[in-house]
Copies of this chain bind each other. A is one copy, B any other.
């Protein structure tokens, strides 16, 4: 059992109707993807043709931040709010898609981009799978 699974297993209250397998897979995918994107941004920085990789680096940095935050939000169950979780998962999936597509474009040239693209696409899918399992959207309160 991974640490993520152990921490989920020992949460002292009811986790509600969330799919525990999809939740722990998504948390793990988020923390793996955050690290891969941080490392890929740095690997791009060290490439001789860094000037061709500036959009890739920016997408890596955004994706790392989104995945980090999503992994944290998903690790909290007290006072759980499905609507907030849904919005955060959508933002994370969007960041992973953008970054994964950009890394993909450089995958033939740079092994780090190839691995990072695969990690981003896995994380996007894990976010989407968890989103699909959360059920129908409740109507949010209108913004003031």
Which residues of A are in contact with B by a Cβ distance under 8 Å? 3-4, 6-8, 10-13, 27, 31-32, 34-36, 38-43, 45-48, 50-51, 54-55, 57-59, 61-62, 64-66, 68-69, 71-73, 75-79, 81, 83-84, 87-88, 90-91, 93-95, 97-98, 101, 110-112, 114-116, 119, 121, 124-125, 128, 140-141, 143-144
Nearest-CB residue, chain B, relative to A67: B69
Q: How many copies does the complex hold?
A: 4
Shortest Cβ distance from residue A137 to the other chain B in the assembled complex, whole angstroms: 12
A69 / chain B contacts, CB cutoff of 8 Å? 65-66, 68-69
Q: Do residues B65 and A36 form an inter-chain contact, with CB atoms below 8 A?
A: no
Q: Of the candidates B7, B65, B125, which one forms a contact with A43 in the assembled complex, judged by CB atoms under 8 Å apart?
A: B7
Q: Are A66 and B79 in contact (CB under 8 A)?
A: no
Report the bound CA distance from A132 to B90 in whole Å. 19
A interface, by DSSP: helix, strand, loop or mixed? helix
Report the Cα distance A132→B55, complex, angstroms: 25
Give which listed residue, B38, B51, B58, B87, contacts A79 with CB less than 8 A. B58
Q: Which residues from chain B contact A13 at a C-beta distance below 8 Å?
A: 46
> How many angstroms between the C-alpha atoms of A81 and B96 in the bound complex?
13
A134–B9 CA distance with the chains assembled, in angstroms: 37
